[in-house]
Amino acid sequence: MRKSRLTQRRKRELMRTLYMKPLIAIYILFLIIAMTAGGTQAAFNDLERENVNFQAGEWDYEDDDDSEDDEWDKSSLTFVDPSGVDAEEGYIFSTVKNTGDDMEGTSEYEIYYILKINQGNGNNNENIITEFYEQFGEENVKPRETGQCKNEEGEDEGQHPQHMQVLIHEGEIPAINSGETTNLEYDFNDLTTEQKQLLQAEIGDFEFRGYHRPGHGHDDENRKCIRENIDFEEDDFLMTDDSKVENVEQEGNKSESSTKSEGEEETQEVEEKGRENDDQVDDSSESEEDESDKQSDSKESYDDEEVQDSEETAESDKEIKEEKDHDEDKGVKDDSGEEKEDQDAKENEEETGELDESEDNEMD
């Protein structure tokens, strides 16, 4: 039973393949005949050359430069005399000249304090650099750049191993015409007292650093710079009329112990002077208070004496008045007593007279 089913199925598949293969072969044959026997409808001509115009597309190209200032204007800057430190007015200055064509825009300049590090100081150098970090900011204190340009990242490829540069000021160089100059100045009074003291205490000098216009020398990747070092005298450095900064250290090579001892002695002297002044002030104030107390006591005693005198005067007047009244009363009493005595005497005389008369009469 099962075998007959498989047999029937195989027969059906065999018949199907027998029908399909001839049909496919006939269909392919007809296609080949149609493609080879049919017309191509192609247009033939005898032209050898044809002029044809093609319209190209239009695109907006973005300029790689950010602004027109990036194109070099053929200007060139350099530092010339005069330059230096004006101790009386309290500022540092330098002069820039344009030796090329007219500048079409402004440029930049920077002022650095070049700190000269002594490699033998060891930990003292770290303390000095830490003080500069605190006063000027860590981002403004870096190893000294010695190259002549800055790359696209704003970094100078050359560095001095024993010098540190401290950024003091950033400014703008105005557009200078060809052959003309301009002055760059910085006022020391813009610094704080602590910054002045720190700059004066350490060994170093100032440096002006100016930058050419972008693209100078057809170098679009770097900003070339020019430099000018400014020397100064230690005695007049940063000593201005408006703000005279005391010298923190008299000598740069003094040890910390000597500095501390000197500072302690100065503080002791100041304290002793202050105590003496306080004692003098206290003595003077006490003497003034004593004098004022004496004056007040004398015034009070004087007032008491006046009051006492007035009271005594009033009492004496009262006593005198009482005595007068008493005398008057006594005088009146005396007068009345005398009159009474006279009257009594008269009465006695009269009685004696009457007695005498009565005796005489009896005798008679």
User: Residue 23 domain-assigned?
Assistant: no
User: Residue 2 domain-assigned?
Assistant: no
The answer to whether residues 295 and 214 belong to one domain is no
The answer to whether residues 96 and 178 belong to one domain is yes
Domain extent at residue 319: 255-336
Strand duo 204-211 + 223-230: pairing = antiparallel
User: Which of 217, 251, 285 corresponds to the end of one domain?
Assistant: 251
Percent of the chain with pLDDT over 70: 56
The answer to whether residues 223 and 263 belong to one domain is no
The answer to whether residues 179 and 293 belong to one domain is no
C-alpha–C-alpha distance, residues 270 and 273, integer Å: 5
The answer to whether residues 92 and 148 belong to one domain is yes
The answer to whether residues 242 and 274 belong to one domain is no
Contact of 188 with 90, CB cutoff 8 Å: yes
The answer to whether residues 223 and 291 belong to one domain is no
Query: SS3 of 238, please?
Result: coil
Choose the weakest-confidence range: 25-39, 252-266, 334-348: 252-266
User: Residue 272 domain-assigned?
Assistant: yes
The answer to whether residues 153 and 220 belong to one domain is yes
User: Residue 180 domain-assigned?
Assistant: yes
Number of domain units in the chain: 2
The whole-number pLDDT of residue 42 equals 55
User: Residue 241 domain-assigned?
Assistant: yes
| Region of 308 on the Ramachandran plot (φ > 0 left; ψ -120 to 50 alpha; else beta) | alpha
CB atoms within 10 A of CB 145: 21
The answer to whether residues 181 and 282 belong to one domain is no
User: Residue 91 domain-assigned?
Assistant: yes
User: Which of 229, 251, 273 corresponds to the end of one domain?
Assistant: 251
Length of the chain (residues): 364
User: Residue 290 domain-assigned?
Assistant: yes
Average pLDDT along the chain = 73
Which phi and psi angles does 169 have, rounded to 5°? -155, 145
Instruction: Please determine, for residue 33, whether its predicted confidence score (pLDDT) is greater than 80.
Output: yes
pLDDT tens by residue, 196-216: 888 887 778 888 998 888 888
Residue type, 343: Q
The answer to whether residues 236 and 122 belong to one domain is yes
The band of 116, judged by pLDDT with boundaries at 50, 70 and 90, is confident
The answer to whether residues 104 and 147 belong to one domain is yes
The answer to whether residues 216 and 270 belong to one domain is no
